[in-house]
Amino acid sequence: MAQESLGLLQGTVDVLILRTLSWTAMHGYGIARWISDRSEGALSVEDAALYQALHRLERKGLVESEWGMSEKNHRAKYYTITPAGRRQLKAEVAELRQYMGALFRVLDTA
């Protein structure tokens, strides 16, 4: 089930979303497309996990949402990152970088 695989991915999905929104306000579909395009298809966030993460982040006050009009004039929900979200993104990226650095230092010497 989606849930089981999420446990591992959750933190990463959050960071990816925050990072995406740090460029501009976007709707959920846009975020999915953006991540997939940016990673050239390597990173594909499951849609269910993406929306769960968006609403969770909104509750935590890291993103805000607003209804607006999409490029093709459909009503869509746009997310923006909040100042708290930016702080969180910075902290998590730093932590991730540290973690990965340490991980690869070990892997590379092996």
Partner 1 sequence: MSGQPRARREFRFAWRTKRQVTNDVDAELAFHLARRIEELTESGLSLEDARRAAAERFGNLEYTRRYCRDEDVRRERETRHTTMIEELKHDLVYAVRALRSAPGFALVALLTLALGIGANTAIFSVVRGVLLSPLPFPEADRVIRIWHVNKAENDPKSQVSEPDFLEWKVASKRFASLAAYWYAPGGSGADLTGTGTPERIQGAYFTPGFFETLRPRAALGRTIRSEEAVVGNDHFVVLSDGLWRRRFGGDHTIIGRALTIDGIPYTVVGVMPPEFTFPADRIDFWMPLSNMGPDAIGRQRASRFLDVFGRLAPGATVAQAHDELAEISRQTAEREQEARGWTDVAMLPVREALTGEVRRPLLLLLGAVAFVLLITCVNIASLLLARATARQRELAVRSALGAGRGRILRQLVTESLVLALLGGAMGLALAYAGVKALGAIGAGELPRAAAIRIDATVLLYTLGVSTLAGLLFGLLPAIRATSRNLQGVLRAGSRGSVGNAGQHLRSALVVAEVALAVILVVGAGLATKSFARLLDVNPGFTARNVLAVRLGMHYEKYGDARIRDYYQLLLDRIAAVPGVEAVGAAKDFPLRGVGELRPPTVPASAGSTEGDRKIRLPVLHVSADYFRAMGIPLRAGRGFTAADREDAPPVWIVNEAFAKKYFPNESPVGKVLRMGPAAIQIIGVVGDFRQKSLSEPAEPTAYIHYPQNMRAGLSLAIRTTGDPLRYANAVREAIWSVDRDQTITSVEPLSAIVGGAVARPRLLASLLLLFGIMGLTLGALGIYGVLAYAVSQRRQEIGVRVALGASPRSVLRLVVGQGMGLAVAGVVAGIAGAFVLTRLMSAVLFEVQATDPATFALVVVVLLGAALIASWLPARRALRIDPVQALRYD
Residue whose entry in the numeric block shows the structure tokens 């991915």: 9
24 binds partner 1 (CB under 8 A): yes
Instruction: Pick the closer one to partner 1 by CB: 74 or 108.
Output: 74
Residue 105 Cβ vs partner 1, minimum distance, rounded to whole Å: 35
Strand, coil or helix: what is 24? coil
Can you tell me the distance from the alpha carbon of 20 to that of 85, in angstroms, rounded to the nearest whole number? 12
Backbone angles phi, psi at 43, to 5 degrees: -100, 115
Q: Which of residues 35-94 bind partner 1 (CB under 8 A)?
A: 46-49, 51-52, 54-56, 58-59, 64, 66-71, 74-78, 80
Q: How far apart, in Å, are the Cα atoms of 7 and each of 13, 14, 22, 53?
A: 10, 12, 24, 12
Residue 21 Cβ vs partner 1, minimum distance, rounded to whole Å: 11
Instruction: Pick the closer one to partner 1 by CB: 67 or 110.
Output: 67
Q: Any bridge partners for residue 80, and if so which?
A: 64
The residues of the shown chain that bind partner 1, judged by CB under 8 A, are 1-3, 24-30, 32, 46-49, 51-52, 54-56, 58-59, 64, 66-71, 74-78, 80
